[in-house]
Structures are given as C-alpha cells and as structure tokens.
C-alpha cells in the first residue's frame, strides 16, 4: 500500500530579516484530512510562516512543498492548490460579492458558469444571498469576512490556510465555520489554522503546534499537550511562551486604575 503523502511539507524553514532570524528551522508536514492549529505570541513567526506557505514571501531558506510542488520553483502552480483566508478582509469595495467571486474564480481557471453556480450556493449558505449584487463598500466587517471565506474555498482547493478566519463573525457564522472546517477535513483537505483563539484551536485541531521566538516549542494533539504540560491550552500557551503569571499581570492592571 502506497504511503500517504503530505499536502504541505516544510523542511528546515528559516527566514531572516536583516540580522534578525524570524524562523529557526521549522519542520512541518500536513496530511490530507488533518487540521493543524498553529499558535504563538505576536512576533513569534506565525505570520511569516503563513506568508511563505502562500507564496507571498519567497526569500527564505529550506524547502516548502505544496502537494509535491516546490513553491520556489513553481509558485503559480503551488498557489493554485491553496485557498487562503487572511485576517483582514481587504476586498475590492466597488464590486459586489458576485463580481468579486467571479474575479477570484477566474484567477483559479474556473469556468464562468461553475463560478456563478457555486457562488450563489455559498452566499446562500452564509446568509449573504440578499446582498449578492450590492457593492461591498457598505458591508460590515463580518459580512466582508464571509465573502473572504467563500473566496478561499470557491475553487475547492486541496489545502486551506486560515489566518484568524473568525475575525468579525457573529456567533452563528462562527458555528458554521467550525463545522465547515470539520467537514472539509473529512473530505481530505489539509487545513492550516492560525489563530489566537485558544478555545477554538483546541476544538477544531487534530494537532497543535506552538511557535515561540521562531522555534516550535510544542507539537501534538491537545490531549498529548495536556498530558505533558497540564491544564488548558491557554495555560499551556502562557507557560511555554514565558507569560505564566498572567493572573498577576491582570491584578497589576486593576491596581493601576484604582
């Protein structure tokens, strides 16, 4: 039986900004059907990792394979395998959701009829059908985020990279997205989930990787991390990133304003 091949393979990944090393030899394999929760404090290297995986940064050391394609050698082919949902919904405000999704679908080589059919179904699922032909400059942050989520999956990618995908969403939309992640994983997608929301990461991830100062300091399922370090994911995060006394920090803040 042929061994399962990773959809994302990261080997000895290093990144420098001038004299400062941001990533210090990251190794990561993501297999079909896996949801990887990627967490870390600000400045740890999360965003840099995401930008490299999505082909936004190409001057790095090491190897990144996207469904077997070396992202340095053939970035266009590698990007075609990926659906990316960034944290900030920077959209073309003068377009309607249908126009924007038509534009995105064509970038991925989809046929116009297939784009329209899929866009209508997805907008309906996210309760945006009444706004399908309205310009997005009047949309709320949550509505814009929904359009961004749709644009990240409309081409049915094998790999989905989510960077704080729940930003601005209402409670019902958050539930839909969490269930969507589980269903996409069941379909064999590889999902890279980058977030500060520990409770969500804990629930949706098969495997959690904690990066701190450019290095992976914890890697395993939540059950494995809990067995090794104890307590909740929030406490594990605080312990391993050097902020284990957050209770005292909060008390000092209260003391300062009284």
> Quick one: pLDDT band at residue 92, thresholds 50, 70, 90?
confident
According to DSSP, the residues that pair with 39 across neighbouring strands are 210
pLDDT digits (tens, 9 = 90+) for 153-170: 999 999 999 998 888 788
Same domain, 194 and 226: yes
State whether 14 and 71 are in the same domain. Answer: yes
Rounded mean pLDDT, 235-240: 86
203, 3 Cβ separation under 8 angstroms: no
Task: Decide if pLDDT at 255 tops 80.
Answer: no
Is the residue at 111 inside a domain? Answer: yes
77 with 193, same domain: the answer is yes
Per-residue confidence at 68, pLDDT binned at 50, 70, 90?
Answer: very high
Domain-embedded: residue 251: no
Domain count, the chain: 2
Residue 258's pLDDT is what? 55
In sequence order, the β-bridge partners of residue 176 are none
- Tokens 């909060």 belong to 250
Q: 95: domain range?
A: 86-156
In the prediction, which pLDDT does 2 show? 46
Question: How many of the other CB atoms lie within 10 Å of CB of 237?
Answer: 25
Domain boundary at 156, 181, 204, which? 156
Q: Is residue 257 part of a domain?
A: no
Q: Are 14 and 58 in a shared domain? A: yes
Residues 99 and 230: their CA atoms lie apart, in Å, by 49
Is residue 256 one of the residues assigned to a domain? Answer: no
φ, ψ of residue 66 to 5 degrees: the values are -115, 105
Does a structural domain hold residue 101? yes
> 9 with 116, same domain?
no
Residues 100, 1, single domain; the answer is no
In a domain, 182, yes or no: no
What is the spatial distance between Cα 15 and Cα 26, in angstroms, rounded to a whole number? 10
| SS3 assignment, position 218 | strand
Say yes or no: 72 and 3 in one domain: yes
- Best CA proximity match to 54, nearest among 86, 32, 28, 29: 86
Residue 149 lies in a domain: yes
pLDDT of 254 strictly over 60? no
In a domain, 255, yes or no: no
- Indicate the residue among 133, 156, 179 that finishes a domain: 156
Average pLDDT of 73-92? 88
Give 102-153 pLDDT, tens digit per residue.
Answer: 999 999 999 999 999 999 999 999 999 999 999 999 899 889 889 999 999 9
- 1 and 61 fall within a common domain: yes
User: What is the DSSP secondary structure assignment for residue 231, as one 8-state letter?
Assistant: S
* Domain co-membership, 60 together with 119: no
CATH number for position 214: 3.40.50.300
Q: Do 77 and 205 have their domain in common?
A: yes
The per-residue pLDDT for range 25-45, each reduced to its tens digit, is 999 999 999 999 999 998 889
Domain check: are 6 and 125 in the same one? no
Q: At what angle do helices 97-107 and 141-153 cross, to 10 degrees?
A: 30
State the Cα–Cα distance between residues 34 and 159, nearest whole angstrom. 10
Residues 90, 207 share a domain? no
């Amino acid at each position: 039986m042929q061994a399962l091949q990773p959809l994302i393979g990261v080997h000895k990944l290093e990144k420098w900004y001038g004299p400062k090393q941001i990533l210090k030899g990251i190794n990561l394999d993501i297999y079909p059907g896996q949801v990887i929760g990627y967490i870390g404090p600000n400045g740890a290297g999360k965003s840099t990792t995401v930008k490299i995986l999505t082909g936004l940064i190409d001057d790095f050391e090491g190897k990144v394979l996207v469904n077997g394609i070396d992202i340095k050698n053939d970035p266009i082919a590698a990007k075609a395998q990926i659906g990316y949902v960034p944290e900030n919904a920077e959209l073309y405000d003068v377009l309607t959701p249908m126009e924007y999704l038509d534009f995105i679908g064509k970038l991925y080589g989809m046929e116009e009829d297939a784009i329209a059919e899929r866009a209508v179904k997805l907008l309906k699922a996210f309760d945006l059908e009444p706004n399908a032909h309205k310009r997005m400059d009047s949309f709320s942050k949550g509505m814009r985020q929904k359009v961004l989520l749709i644009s990240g999956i409309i081409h049915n990618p094998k790999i989905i990279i989510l960077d704080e995908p729940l930003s601005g969403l209402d409670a019902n939309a958050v539930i839909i997205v969490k269930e969507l992640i589980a269903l996409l994983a069941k379909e064999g997608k590889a999902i890279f989930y980058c977030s500060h929301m520990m409770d969500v990461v804990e629930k949706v991830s098969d495997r959690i990787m904690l990066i701190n100062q450019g290095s992976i300091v914890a890697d395993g399922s939540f059950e494995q991390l809990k067995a090794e370090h104890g307590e909740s994911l929030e406490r594990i995060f605080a312990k391993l990133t050097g902020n284990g006394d957050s209770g005292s920090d909060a008390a000092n803040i209260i003391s300062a304003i009284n």
